[in-house]
Amino acid sequence: MWGGRFSAKPADIMQAINVSIGVDRRLWAQDLAGSRAHCRMLAARQIISQADADAILGGLDAIEAEILDGSFPFRDQFEDIHMNVEARLAELIGEPSGRLHTARSRNDQVATDFRLWVRDACDRAGEQLKGLQAALLVRAEQHAGDLMPGFTHLQPAQPVTFGHHLMAYVEMFGRDASRFADARTRMNENPLGAAALAGSPFPIDRHATAEALGFDRPMGNSLDAVSDRDFALESLAAASIAAGHLSRLAEEIVVWMTPQFGFVTLPDDLTTGSSIMPQKRNPDAAELVRAKTGRIMGSLVALSTVMKGLPLAYSKDMQEDKPPVFEAFDALTLALGAMTAMVSALQPNTERMRAAAGSGFSTATDLADWLVRELNLPFRKAHHVTGAAVKRAESLGVDLSQLPLEELQSLHPGVTEGVYKVLTPEASCASRQSFGGTAPDQVRARIAEWKTRLA
């Protein structure tokens, strides 16, 4: 490629550290798309002849066919996907192939290819997230009124419904999808035409190539166009947050499947056994989703570190931008697919969850609220009285709803039989009628809203 300046071939170690075709061959479709758009623009602007353009486009079609049927010769000697395509194009059509690189550099070429790939990856992630939300909505609607304990600090806090719990993840994954959509909007500018770093002296039409490739506009500064990897970093940030949400749900599935909880089970085809313990049913899919988060978050750190000290414009350090992005989106795709399958297949033990919903004095807040509402106590006073009631019930080995009335009246004489109406988990959940609360009708209203949004 640069034989006019160099008289020696690269040393073996130089070739080993410099070659990237093993990684960036994944950009072949984007590279062909960018080359086609660039070729057509060059012909339209009469920078190359239409005959040469037709030969180039025919050669690119032949290369695509070879890649699809597995006969394309990916070769390390040509370093990357761009030079592999260019070398094969020369073999197929001869001299016209050399005109394709007019008014273009590998700097703007790779920036365009990579941006197109990440744009597609964000679209795929957004669609997968919507699929996961849809699976959660089905389950949430089925269990909008089924009780379970709500936790803080992983200690029983207040009763909620299983549907309400699942809807929390619908909200999270909705934000994740919007982050990918926002990132896509910002990245949808075309670097092609920035050339090496300063633009081109040829009368190119960057708006035409932007339109052909589905970009909103060309990037406004040629230096920024070839050196920017914000789009990759922002997408990795969105992926990391989404992976964090997946990991939280995975952890809950792992906990819920323990015999100590016994809240859910997964079918045989989504669990594994043990090589030595015949009784085991391991939630390995959930555990691996949890583990993929490390790879995804690590990719964000890796690319941030690569980019942190680079001067403008392009440096070869940026060849290391693709491995972490590819790895992160591969992991995210797999994790989203696995989680969607688990949500669709898990079987909740509603009776076990209902029994646990009232444990740990989970209706204590309801007692405090009743004291405020019915006896006009300040909340801090009601909190103190309720704490004493919990202590007394604990010493007697009973739940709050089983604490005798005289015991409650010894703590405050104004307590009446009416207090027992609020001390069941069902009453507690039903009373949470504020917007976004766990009352079943509120849960169902939120489900209906999300079904409309996803549709």
Q: Kindly list the catalytic residues.
A: 153, 274
Cβ–Cβ contacts within 10 Å for residue 75, how many? Answer: 13
The strand ranges marked E within 250-399 are 264-265, 347-348
What single-letter amino acid sits at 419?
V
Residue 282 dihedral angles phi and psi, to the nearest 5°: -100, 135
Q: CB under 8 Å to 166, separation ≥6 — which residues? A: 136, 139, 140, 143, 343
Token pair belonging to 92 = 């197929």
What single-letter amino acid sits at 445?
A
Burial grade of 165 (CB within 10 A; 0-12, 13-18, 19 or more) = buried
Burial grade of 383 (CB within 10 A; 0-12, 13-18, 19 or more) = middle
Give Cα 72 to chain centroid, integer Å: 33
Beta bridge partners of 264: 348
Rounded to whole angstroms, the Cα distance separating 175 from 1 reads 46
Q: CB under 8 Å to 198, separation ≥6 — which residues? A: 222, 223
Cβ–Cβ contacts within 10 Å for residue 135, how many? Answer: 20
CB 149 within 8 A of CB 159: yes
Rounded to whole angstroms, the Cα distance separating 261 from 353 reads 8
CB 366 within 8 A of CB 438: no
Rounded to whole angstroms, the Cα distance separating 190 from 226 reads 10
Which of 441, 310, 420, 306 is closest to 370 using CA atoms? 420
CB 324 within 8 A of CB 303: yes
Token pair belonging to 265 = 């089970």
